[in-house]
Each structure stands twice: as structure tokens, then as C-alpha cells.
Amino acid sequence: MMDRREFLAAAAAAALASGVPARVWGGVQLGASQRFSFDRLVEEARALAGREYEPPPAVAPAEILDAVDYDAWGAVRFDTDKALFANGPGRYPVTFFPLGRYFRTPVRVFVVMRADDGARARPVRYDAADFDIPPGNPLRQLPPDAGFAGFRLQESRLGDQGKLPWRSNDWAAFLGASYFRAIGALYQYGVSARGIAIDTAVAGVTEEFPRFSRFYLQTPQDDGPTVTAWAMLEGPSVTGAYRFVMTRDRAVLMDVSARLFLRRDVQRLGLAPLTSMYWFSETRKPEAVDWRPEVHDSDGLAMWTGAGEYIWRPLANPPETRVVAFADRAPRGFGLCQRDRTFDHYLDGVYYDRRPTLWVQPRGDWGPGAVQLLELPTGSEFDDNIAAMWVPAAAARSGNEYRLDYRLHWVDREPFAPSLARCRATRLGLAFPGDPGRRHVRRFAVAFEGGPLVDLAAGVQPEAVLSASRGRVQRTQVHPVPDDVAGHWRVLFDWTVADPGPVDLRLYLRLAGQPLTETWLYTHAATA
């Protein structure tokens, strides 16, 4: 006797056997089937790399898409009664995003089902009637076959994960170029991931944004917490096939497998790229720029090197575009993190204190290369001005193939943080604010907390290991922060340089030759 999931699958297969579109699994309409496997997708990507790139055709007049601005686009909702898998199988219904001014190119979405002759994929047909579109909204003017901009995974329809109703809450979304994101353990979106980054911040070169042109969603076989999807990546310089195995637990885990094929040379090939926003924090805030104490989705880049060193690099909003490379071999991980979880440090109802940390855990040996950090200047919270990625040391040449496997952790803190004390805050200001002759001297205050600092005996004084790429460091002090918090220590030092330009600072605490803290790195843009 077949169970409910088998019955639903059999009913859907029967309804579609003739190739005639039918509404199944909540109300979406599926088209005729085609064979599917990840191996076939990989071979198709390889074959596409040998041909010239063909940009997707326009699906609607530009003036119609332009009229679907942020407000008009945000007013449209997919009808959850018609969500894919709204009534099962599986826990997580799937809803879809419409096109608009900022998402102009449709993606094709397929449902993968088992069949006697192997897996079959059927396209999800676009129907404007599946969306709740307000009267007068320009989305009503799109053609009937316009297509979707992307999709999202709703929370569990079984009501078994927290108290969030599935119809109004989602936990992962794929939308725009090769961007995707997920919520963390604190139920907030923030930092994003990308499938790939091509020539980001290369002087004289326009950045390329390859896109996921097709997605394939596996029909769930049970009510477990995992969703599997595949994607085709296409761009002028690259093609690729991706597999995403996504697990919704306390946080979100994504196992990513990518097979990439270069059509032409790339100057900066960014693998496992992350994107975030940093405007200001307690480190530096322009006078009266905003009423809130801090505004950022992420406040630092954490790295666990192949040699085992754990590094913390606070983010910055620099006066001009800046790219910093941290050379490594076989990295153990890196991530854009939101460490400051104190609401009073933000005072904002959008809950910056709950934004997820996104950690990249490589699978296999990634060889030599560098974690590269891109920081762009921004004057608001509406720009993603931060990016971090792995860039292989070898030149990215036409015809190169790459196999990349990694796990993404969307969490509340780094998943593999060592037992060392962590950097809690970075602050700086004038060392002698009342002395015009010494306004070029900066005083830094770097606070560490936890780890072996908690167990230091009374009277034991850690040693600050401090260096600067140029300039002079003076008046270094190490002492406990007077807040009665065990293991909370602060390093104060003054830094002086005669000429303007960036300086790299490096600091950690040690005792008897052993590190007590992670390594703090900071790039300071000195002014005359």
C-alpha cells in the first residue's frame, strides 16, 4: 500500500504523462519532462564553455520593467496556496519572485521527479495569476510567459521549527545573478553568498555578473530537513554546474559542489564569494552621520589559515576602494561575521544584532591562493560594499576547469572558533586631541575577551606582540578592562607616521611564548 508521498508523486506523474501542463503540488503548473542528472548538467556546462556566450533575450519592454521599482516590486506576493509543495511532499514549500527593475532576467525553474527511466525534470510555468498583484501595479503589464526572477524556501509547513508560520517566513532565497542567502540561528537575513565573482574591483575592467539561468528542485522523498537543488551558471567568461544540499536546522547549512569552465581569461577569479554591508561601527563613525551607534550586517572577516592561525580583521568603510589579500595554502575556513550581538549597540528595529555570520568551510585541498577582502566606500546602509572570496594563485585562463566543494554555515558565530580569546572591539581616535602639533598621532584600543584570559592568575601580565608595516608604535599598555568581566583585556597603543597612506597593523597577546588570543589585523588609512 503506497503512502501519501508515493500517492502524490504517482498522481503528479500520471497527470503529466501526456506532456500536457497540469497543476500539481499546491497549484503550480508544470510543463513537459526531460531527462536530468547532475552529470548531464556538468557536461552541458562544459559544452557551453566551448561556444560563444549568448545573452538572454529581453522578456518585456524596458519601460515596463523600469516601472516595477522597489515599492511596486515589494507590493507583489506569490499566492502561498499555489506554492510548490504547499501540501507536501516534504517540509518546505517553494514560492517565487517576480521580475522587476532590479531583477530583469528570468530564470527557468524545474521540478525533478523520479521515473522508471531515471530522473525527469519538468519546468514550472509562469502564470501571473499565481501572484497577488495590486490593481495598477506595472507588473500586470508583463507578458504571460515573463518568467520568475528567483525562488525561496518557506519555513516548515509542518510547524515543527520554531514558531514562524511558513506562509509569511522563508529561510533561503536565490535571487539576482548568482546571489543567494539564508537566515541564521537568529532568524534574520543579512550577508549574501554568490556562485562566483569575476573581475571584482579590477582597475580598468568592468565586473562581470554571471547568472544562474536554470534551477532544478528535487522532489522531497521524506519530511526531513534537507532540500537539494541544482543550478546552471552562465556568463561571458564562465559556465558552471552547481549542486546545493541545504539543511534547515537551528541555523542553515549548505553543501555546495561546483564544476566551473572558463570561456576566456579572468584577471580575478573569486571562488565561494561572500557579500555584505558595513557602514560604520564603534571603530570609526563620522560625526552626526546617523543617530544609531552602529550600522552593519557584518563587522569583521575571520580566517582560519592552513597553518592553523586564527585571524580577525575588523571591517572598514575606506575613503577609496581597497583590496587586501591574505595569502594562504589549503585554508581551513573564512567568513564574514557579525560578532556584536548587543541590541543597544544598534538601537534599530531591523535587528542588525541578529544578522548571520557566514562561514566557508572548504572541502578538499584548495591549494595556494589568498582570501581577498574588498572594501568599497559607502555613505549609506543600502549598498553591499564588502566582499570576501578565495582567489587561486594560478592564473585563470581560458579552458581551465575547476572542481570546488565547500560547506556554508549560516550561524550566529564562527563554527570552528579556537579556544583562544576573541577580539571584542576595535576603537581609535586622536592620541592628543588638545595638541594641534600631534594630530597625526592615533591611539588604538583593541579589546580581547574569553579563552585563556579568563584563567589568568592575579598579577599575571600578558605580553602584546604588536607590529606595523610602517610608522612607529609607542606607549603600548596591556591591562584588564575595569568592568568586572573575567578575561576582558585591552591593549592601548599610539601609532605615528609622517606621510599619508595605508598601514597594516598586527597584534595578539601571549604568555610564556604561547598565544592567548587570535591575531588582530587592521588596515588604517593614515592622513597627513
pLDDT digits (tens, 9 = 90+) for 250-286: 899 999 999 999 999 999 999 999 999 999 999 988 8
How does strand 108-113 pair with strand 211-218?
Answer: parallel
The answer to whether position 386 is within a domain reads no
Last residue of a domain, one of 263, 278, 304: 263
Q: Which of 55-64, 95-104, 191-200, 355-364 has the lowest mean pLDDT?
A: 55-64
- The pTM of this model reads 0.93
482 CB-near residues (< 8 Å, 6+ apart): none
Confidence band (pLDDT; 50, 70, 90) for 418?
confident
Predicted pLDDT at 2: 43
The answer to whether position 25 is within a domain reads yes
Domain count, the chain: 2
The answer to whether position 171 is within a domain reads no
pLDDT digits (tens, 9 = 90+) for 226-251: 999 999 999 999 999 999 999 998 89
**Bridge partner residues of 479 (DSSP):** 490
Predicted pLDDT at 514: 96
CATH of the domain at 95: 2.70.98.10
Mean of the per-residue pLDDT values of the chain: 92
Pick left, alpha or beta for residue 187 (phi over 0 → left; psi -120 to 50 → alpha; otherwise beta).
left
The answer to whether position 428 is within a domain reads yes
Query: Looking at this protein, which amino acid is placed at residue 327?
Result: A
Residue 527 has pLDDT above 70, yes or no: no
What's the CA angle centered on 95, arms 92 and 98, to 5 degrees?
A: 160
Q: 322: closest CA among 254, 268, 393, 375?
A: 375
Judge contact between 181 and 191, C-beta under 8 A. Answer: yes
The answer to whether position 363 is within a domain reads no
Average pLDDT over residues 342-361: 97
| Residues 211, 176: Cα–Cα separation, whole Å | 7
| Residues 500, 323: Cα–Cα separation, whole Å | 18
DSSP state of 176: S
| Residues 337, 360: Cα–Cα separation, whole Å | 11
| Residues 353, 412: Cα–Cα separation, whole Å | 10
- List the domain range (segments joined by +) for residue 435: 422-526
The answer to whether position 410 is within a domain reads no
Highest mean pLDDT among 114-128, 155-169, 170-184: 170-184
Residue 161 has pLDDT above 70, yes or no: no
The answer to whether position 217 is within a domain reads yes
Alpha helix positions (H), 395-465: none
CATH of the domain at 484: 2.60.40.10
The answer to whether position 252 is within a domain reads yes
Last residue of a domain, one of 220, 238, 263: 263
